[in-house]
Amino acid sequence: MNSLAQAAYYTRTIIKLSAIGLVLFFVIKFSINLGIAYWKQKNPPPPPAPEIRFGNLPKIAFPAPSDKLPASLTYSLETIEGILPNLPTLGKVYFVPQPGPSLLASDRAKQKAGNLGFSGEPVLLTQTKYRFTSRAEPVATFELDIISGNFKLSYPYLSDPTLLQNPNVPQLSQAIAEARSYLAAAGALTDEIRDGRGEANYLKLDGQNLVPALSFSEAQFTSVNLFRKDLDTWPILSPNPKKSLIHFLFSGSGEQRRRIVEANFTYGPIDRQISSTYPLKTSAQAWQEIQAGQGFVANLGQNENGKITIRKAYLAYFDSEEPQKFLQPIFVFEGDRNFFAYITAVDSQYTD
């Protein structure tokens, strides 16, 4: 065998052995990775320990139950999966800073009221709550907490039949934009409100009550609810999940003082940088509590017979009308015909 043929022979041999070695390498590597994945699946790492930095938490102060609830409620679970979902057993609790008094609070309150069309000296309802009134008839009122910045506006639209002569109410997206613009003028439009969900609906008068309008053509008012942006992918829900703590009612009037006939702004800033993890109940524990009548019925919906079919269960945060030091997670049980019920999610041994 001459030198050239010999070199070619050894070259082919080296290439063949290299190819076999490369294949063996990937087979062994794949087998090792498969073995590690299997071992991890059978031996998952323990979940991180809860931090519990805030100590025991105050129990969530849900509102008093409605007197319109049936004497008893019976529940059946009919989720898509047929079972309760496997939800996290560890959740974050967020700190909610409380505003303190300020020497400039009164002046700032008057300036805010003036920016929104309410000039003049207010009536002091309490040490921290002022009531401003409009000078034009019918009289609109604007109540403002000078510490928290929360406010309520009310115009006697039932006493002003001329509003119904202006049927050009804002369309849904326009009303949401106007509500956010109003909050911006009040210095109350935060990022989580601007980036949160907005919902609007058409309403009409039925006697003295507002009821849903079936179409824009028969609408006499437009209602708007502005919700906070989700936190950790969980929604932030008020005592009534169908109505935010920030809501508006618009008429079809083109006059500023009669355009917004109702407004409510109840808001506590959340410090998203200060949080702590806490152990949560299992979904099975929460389901047992709801069946035992320990939950808060946030919205009965059209379930006057007391027979409730639950379709969904998930975690959320509870946004209270009353000042709260912490934003805490809750279980939400959502059912047919607009039924919603809440259960405190933090393990009971960590609440007072």
Strands 307-318 and 74-77: parallel
CB burial class (10 A; 0-12, 13-18, 19+) of residue 74? Answer: exposed
- Give the C-alpha separation, 59 to 73, whole Å: 24
Give yes or no for a cis peptide into 122 (omega within 30° of 0).
no
Measured in degrees and rounded to the nearest 5, phi and psi for residue 206 equal -125, 95
The per-residue pLDDT string of the chain (352 residues; one tens digit each, 9 = 90 and over) reads: 556 666 666 677 777 776 777 777 777 777 777 777 666 666 667 768 899 999 999 999 999 988 789 988 999 999 988 899 999 999 999 999 998 888 889 999 999 999 898 988 999 999 999 999 998 888 999 999 999 999 999 999 999 988 887 678 999 999 999 999 999 999 999 999 999 999 999 999 999 999 999 999 999 999 999 999 999 999 999 999 999 999 999 999 988 889 999 999 999 999 999 999 999 999 999 999 999 999 999 999 999 999 999 999 999 999 999 999 999 999 999 999 999 999 999 999 999 8
Q: Where are the domains of the chain?
A: 1-45, 74-96+272-350, 105-270
- Give the C-alpha separation, 124 to 280, whole Å: 43
Classified as helix, coil or strand, 339 is: strand
- pLDDT, position 123: 95
Q: Which residues contact 116 (CB under 8 A, 6 or more apart)?
A: 142, 153, 182, 185, 186
Which of the listed CATH numbers 2.40.128.690, 3.40.50.300, 2.60.40.10, 1.10.520.10 matches domain 74-96+272-350? Answer: 2.40.128.690
Classified as helix, coil or strand, 131 is: strand
Q: Which amino acid is at 42?
A: K
Q: Tell me the residue ranges of DSSP E strands in the chain.
A: 74-77, 90-95, 123-124, 129-133, 141-145, 151-154, 198-206, 209-212, 221-226, 236-237, 246-250, 260-265, 271-279, 296-299, 307-318, 326-327, 329-335, 339-344
- pLDDT, position 100: 86
- Order of all β-strands in the sheet with 90-95: 271-279, 90-95, 326-327
